[in-house]
Amino acid sequence: MMTLQAQSARDVMTPGPYSLAASETPEKAAEFLISRGFGSAVVIDDAGHPIGVVTKSDLLIHQQATTEHPTPRMTTVRDVMTPAVFTVHLETPIASVVRQFLVLNIHHLFVADPGGTIVGIISPLDILRKLL
């Protein structure tokens, strides 16, 4: 029988997620994600507030669309991101974290501290690593 060796989001998260500026180009965002081996990054506005998430899938969809229908306007990460940041708190019970992955059908959850600052990220792989 396998047991999950974690009690809360804090126990499974990868600390210190990286962010991308909303004004960045999709090409720079793709380079950033690929060079670091990330699947996603939080998108922040000029004030540093999280406003969305950009994933490799978002960038692939954008690339396919621009290949089929080029546009003269410069595209930014804000244009291709998912305009939602799904978060849990550091002390969110692990059962609730797993439930959110299943209910929301997502691949990344961000972890916020009591002040709302994003301090970590959780992927399903992070949870699997805690199974013994």
pLDDT for position 65: 84
What string of H, E and C letters represents the secondary structure of 57-103?
A: HHHHHHHHHHHHCCCCCCCCHHHHCECCCCEEECCCEHHHHHHHHHH
Using pLDDT thresholds of 50, 70 and 90, give the confidence band for residue 25: very high
Residue 132: is its pLDDT beyond 80?
no
The Cα 20–Cα 54 span in angstroms is 8
Q: What phi-psi label fits residue 43: left (phi over 0), alpha (psi between -120 and 50 degrees) or beta? A: beta
Residue 71: is its pLDDT beyond 80?
no
**Burial status of residue 130 (CB atoms within 10 A of its CB: 0-12, 13-18, 19 or more):** middle
User: Would you kindly state where each structural domain of the chain is located, as residue ranges?
Assistant: 9-128
Percentage of residues in the chain with pLDDT exceeding 70?
100
pLDDT for position 103: 96
Percentage of residues in the chain with pLDDT exceeding 90?
70
Using pLDDT thresholds of 50, 70 and 90, give the confidence band for residue 52: very high
Q: Report, at the CATH architecture level, how domain 9-128 is classified.
A: Roll (3.10)
